[in-house]
Amino acid sequence: MRPAALDPLFAPLTTLKGIGPKLERPFARLLGAETPRVVDLLFHMPSGFVDRRSRPTIAAAVPETDVTLEVRVDGHQPPPPGSRSPHRTFVSDPSGDLVIAHFKMDPAFLERLLPVGATRWLCGRITLYDGMRQMTHPDRILDAAGLARLPPIEPVYPLVEGLSGGQVRRAIAAALDGVPTLGEPVPGGILAAEGWPDLKTALRRVHQPSEIADISVTGAAWQRLAFQELFAHQIALGLVRVRQAEIGGRATRGDGRLAEAVRLSLPFALTRSQESAVAAIRADIASDRRMLRLLQGDVGSGKTVVGLLAAALVIEAGRQAALMAPTEVLARQHYDTIAPLAARAGIATAILTGREKGRARAAILDDLAAGRTGLLVGTHAVIQPDVAFADLALAIIDEQHRFGVEQRLALTRKGEAADMLLMTATPIPRTLVLTLFGDMAVCELREKPPGRQAIDTRTVSLERLGEVIEAIGRALEAGAQVYWICPLVDESDASDLAAATERHAMLAARFGRRVDLVHGRLSGTQKDAAMARFAAGETGILVATTVVEVGVNVPNATLMVIEHAERFGLSQLHQLRGRVGRGDKPSTCLLLYRGPLGETAKARLAMLRASDDGFAIAEEDLRLRGEGDVLGTRQSGFPGFDLARLDMHGPLLDTARAAAAVLLARDPHLSAPDSAAARTLLYLHKRDAAMRLLSAG
């Protein structure tokens, strides 16, 4: 049970003054939560700030820097009717004068806002225009009362459409007023040594800074917040380890017969890194400790085969394996790859997704419970309560980050001390593996299978859409297939879906029935049918939202067009690009963007053009993203951390690990009364699944 002290923080955002049902939706998108809670908002960190303390005279103001000017309003000059020129307001101070320019604004409104003869304070940046000092659309126009309320340093937040910075700041101010005083989870020695404030003070300083150190990512306030989040994460990892050690493992040793048969049925030789991954997994499975291993491999590096060989190792010992994938499409694809190989090796496989129903499903469950099925491939359907194995020894989880801890554990719990193999195609920089996974064993598939061709990646402005369409025409004529990706930032966002539908219609008008469309709102059956038509070559162009992001394998597809590339994370683009270049023909990836691009966006796309190494791209993504995600989205990169910026707060990690170890050495189940603050911390940072794990047998 969540400690009652946290109730105000876990209340829906709509309980805050000023946030009604209408604002809830944009906040939900901003915070990436269906029903956003107060804590989600408090953990929405600034991406920058504006210093309002600089108060020069007009003459002394440095152009292009943020200033607050005290001025007298001298007069107005509305634009002539029908003209595109701005409304000009003339203002001055004893040092000089300045023109305020407002485009497309009601002159009457501006004359009320800036009455002639009055004193006003303007926040913004001045530029020199035709030798005149000008301020275009000031950030703020204040009277004396407004000035008194002006924060000295104003945080800037990532935003979404439909929300202004002011709305976010006001909501956060309301949230800050309700932060309860909680027990201090950070060990006193660390607090004292670092000089960190308590939680409430730290939140207030970051969101309502009075000096730059308050809002700085490396300042004491933010460091404290980052530390407590890393601490919570380390405690949760520690609890999982305690649990693993308590249940122990089971040694599984086969005779090598099936693994050998699988190898013989492969049309290729394993790469060196596949070989060493299989060897590491074999050793883990044979040991009587429980395996918890992460198999990292860039797209196309051949993880599926490693998974199949791992399964063979337990099946030849008379036990069972399960492979769980996050989507129907992926589960089917794994199954289609695995089933023929497994059949040749004499391994009985089955698939279980939401689509197996009634008698067919009952038969699958029967075979599974009787031990007739060696390997079960499926979606979340495999963790339904009535799915029982005869003796599950190995749980393989593909695209592990798409599952919650509880779902992953639910699968292992279907076996007795089952080993767990997590797979991911999201390259995680080495510096971060430790943070995210603690001392989980990791193996990497660094090399690509031989014979792959480099993908020619180019950035193209959307203005050149016509040329892109021509290129598609040529590719189709040459017998190639084409992916066309439209971004779908939010599955429920109708406008994104409309964009994909519209693009589909436009391409269909040109290329006819060879154009197909697949998106998240289609049913599993519809999606699979569309994917199957594409894989079979019945369709030539597949317009898709990011459902093809992971794992999909159509070797004949050699052209990938990604629309609005600037909206995707780098690693995500790399993943998408990995859908082509899977056969032996040269492939091309066109990144369509809507200009003009900012510096960071340019650098990101350039990186992608220059590199084909998912790990290098991930490192660079992290560096470029730094403290402020330019796009304001939270979905790319490393899920699960709200406060800690892994590039900036890495140095805190060792301390957090050590502190968690001390805590758990004293109280391994976190059950002692004086562990209350640490228990609360786990809930606060949504790591409480680790606690339930200890109580759930």
Provide the binding-site residues for Mg ion, judged by CB under 5 A: 551
Contacts of 188 (CB under 8 A, 6+ apart): none
- Compare residues 51 and 447 and give the one whose CB is closer to ligand ADP: 447
Are 108 and 97 a contacting pair, CB within 8 Å?
no
Applying CB under 6 A, which of residues 46, 238, 374, 551 lies at the interface with ligand ADP?
Answer: 551
Instruction: Choose one: 72-80, 217-225, 267-275, 386-394; the region binding ligand ADP (CB under 6 A).
Output: 267-275
For residue 24, what is the enclosing H or E element? helix 21-31
Beta bridge partners of 125: 66
Beta bridge partners of 121: 70, 142
Residue 557, binding choice from ligand ADP, Mg ion, none, Cβ under 5 to 8 Å by partner class? none
- Compare residues 36 and 378 and give the one whose CB is closer to Mg ion: 378
Q: Does 304 bind ligand ADP (CB under 6 A)?
A: yes
- Compare residues 443 and 468 and give the one whose CB is closer to ligand ADP: 443
CB of 640 to Mg ion, least distance (A): 22
CB of 423 to ligand ADP, least distance (A): 7
Residue 449, binding choice from ligand ADP, Mg ion, none, Cβ under 5 to 8 Å by partner class? ligand ADP
Applying CB under 6 A, which of residues 71, 206, 285, 305 lies at the interface with ligand ADP?
Answer: 305
Q: Does 558 bind ligand ADP (CB under 6 A)?
A: no
Q: Does 270 bind ligand ADP (CB under 6 A)?
A: yes
Residue 379, binding choice from Mg ion, ligand ADP, none, Cβ under 5 to 8 Å by partner class? none
Q: Which two structure tokens, joined as six digits, stand for 412? A: 């292992």
- Compare residues 252 and 271 and give the one whose CB is closer to ligand ADP: 271
CB of 529 to ligand ADP, least distance (A): 21
- Compare residues 334 and 519 and give the one whose CB is closer to Mg ion: 334
- Compare residues 216 and 276 and give the one whose CB is closer to ligand ADP: 276
Q: Does 487 bind ligand ADP (CB under 6 A)?
A: no
Cα separation, 679 vs 673, in Å, equals 10
Distance of CA 137 to the CA centre of its chain: 34
What single letter denotes the amino acid at residue 690? A
Q: Does 348 bind ligand ADP (CB under 6 A)?
A: no
Residue 234, binding choice from ligand ADP, Mg ion, none, Cβ under 5 to 8 Å by partner class? none
Applying CB under 6 A, which of residues 223, 274, 675, 680 lies at the interface with ligand ADP?
Answer: 274
Residue 575, binding choice from Mg ion, ligand ADP, none, Cβ under 5 to 8 Å by partner class? none
- Residue 385 φ then ψ, to 5°: -60, -30
Applying CB under 6 A, which of residues 36, 124, 197, 297 lies at the interface with ligand ADP?
Answer: 297
| Among 693, 570, 682, 590, CA closest to 637 | 570
- Compare residues 326 and 551 and give the one whose CB is closer to Mg ion: 551
CB of 304 to Mg ion, least distance (A): 5
- Compare residues 50 and 341 and give the one whose CB is closer to ligand ADP: 341
Residue 299, binding choice from ligand ADP, Mg ion, none, Cβ under 5 to 8 Å by partner class? ligand ADP
Q: Does 156 bind ligand ADP (CB under 6 A)?
A: no
CB of 306 to ligand ADP, least distance (A): 8
Applying CB under 6 A, which of residues 32, 165, 346, 449 lies at the interface with ligand ADP?
Answer: 449
Cα separation, 629 vs 676, in Å, equals 35
Q: Does 581 bind ligand ADP (CB under 6 A)?
A: no
Please, is 147 exposed, middle or buried when counting C-beta atoms within 10 Å of its C-beta (0-12, 13-18, 19+)? middle
Name the residue with tokens 């000295």: 152
Q: Going by DSSP bridges, is the β-strand pair 119-125/66-77 parallel, antiparallel, or unpaired?
A: antiparallel
Distance of CA 236 to the CA centre of its chain: 20
Name the residue with tokens 């275009």: 136
CB of 402 to Mg ion, least distance (A): 12
Position with the least CB separation from ligand ADP: 302
Are 380 and 399 a contacting pair, CB within 8 Å?
no
Contacts of 189 (CB under 8 A, 6+ apart): none
* 512 three-class SS: helix
Q: Does 271 bind ligand ADP (CB under 6 A)?
A: yes
Instruction: Choose one: 263-271, 314-322, 407-415, 495-503; the region binding ligand ADP (CB under 6 A).
Output: 263-271
CB of 472 to ligand ADP, least distance (A): 24
Q: Going by DSSP bridges, is the β-strand pair 87-93/415-424 parallel, antiparallel, or unpaired?
A: unpaired
Cα separation, 573 vs 457, in Å, equals 11
Q: Does 425 bind ligand ADP (CB under 6 A)?
A: yes
Q: Does 577 bind ligand ADP (CB under 6 A)?
A: no
* 239 three-class SS: helix
CB of 400 to ligand ADP, least distance (A): 13
- Compare residues 114 and 330 and give the one whose CB is closer to ligand ADP: 330
User: Which CA distances in Å does 679 have to 39, 184, 186, 657, 663?
Assistant: 17, 11, 12, 16, 11
DSSP string, 346-408: T--EEEE-TT--HHHHHHHHHHHHTT--SEEEESGGGGSTT---SSEEEEEETTGGGS-HHHH
Q: Does 327 bind ligand ADP (CB under 6 A)?
A: no
Q: Which two structure tokens, joined as six digits, stand for 553? A: 């394998």
CB of 301 to ligand ADP, least distance (A): 4
Q: Going by DSSP bridges, is the β-strand pair 541-544/392-397 parallel, antiparallel, or unpaired?
A: unpaired
- Compare residues 209 and 581 and give the one whose CB is closer to Mg ion: 581
- Compare residues 398 and 642 and give the one whose CB is closer to ligand ADP: 398
Please, is 63 exposed, middle or buried when counting C-beta atoms within 10 Å of its C-beta (0-12, 13-18, 19+)? exposed
- Compare residues 301 and 545 and give the one whose CB is closer to ligand ADP: 301
The string over 648-678, giving b where at least 16 C-beta atoms fall within 10 Å of a residue's C-beta and e elsewhere, is bbbebbebbbebbeebbeeebebeeeebeeb
Applying CB under 6 A, which of residues 353, 459, 545, 553 lies at the interface with ligand ADP?
Answer: 553
Q: Does 455 bind ligand ADP (CB under 6 A)?
A: no
Residues of the shown chain interacting with ligand ADP in the complex, contacts defined by CB under 6 A: 268, 270-271, 274, 297, 299-305, 425, 449, 551, 553
